[in-house]
């Protein structure tokens, strides 16, 4: 699957190292960090504090960031 072309690869690098938080089913919050970006497929790899990793497309990652209202886009 190829990158959908909606994300400039330089902007993808901006997400690297960004800390994110997700709200779990029971209302608890899990923190994670973007550790890698696969430009060829448009995935961001997130490692959470519990050691799990997840692949997210940039639109999914952006939705998570915006849902917590903490962002500082360039």
Residues 6+ apart with CB under 8 A from 69: none
Q: What is the pTM of this model?
A: 0.75
Domains present along the chain, CATH in parentheses? 9-67 (2.30.30.140)
Confidence bin at 5 (pLDDT 50/70/90)? very low
Mapped onto helix, strand or coil, the DSSP state of residue 48 is strand
The string of pLDDT tens digits covering residues 12-51 is 788 889 888 888 888 888 999 999 998 888 889 999 999 9
Confidence bin at 56 (pLDDT 50/70/90)? very high
Check residue 53 and give its pLDDT: 96
Whether residue 4 has pLDDT greater than 80 = no
Helix, strand, coil in percent for the chain, rounding step 5: 25, 35, 40
Q: Is residue 43 within 8 Å of 55, Cβ to Cβ?
A: yes
In terms of C-beta density within 10 A (0-12 exposed, 13-18 middle, 19 or more buried), how is residue 55 classed? Answer: middle
């Amino acid at each position: 699957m190829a990158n959908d072309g909606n994300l400039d690869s330089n902007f993808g690098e901006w997400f690297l190292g960004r800390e994110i938080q997700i709200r779990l089913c029971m209302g608890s919050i899990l923190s994670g960090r973007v550790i890698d970006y696969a430009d060829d497929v448009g995935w961001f790899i997130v490692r959470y504090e519990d050691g799990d990793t997840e692949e997210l497309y940039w639109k999914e990652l952006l939705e998570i960031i915006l849902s917590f209202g903490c962002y500082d886009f360039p």
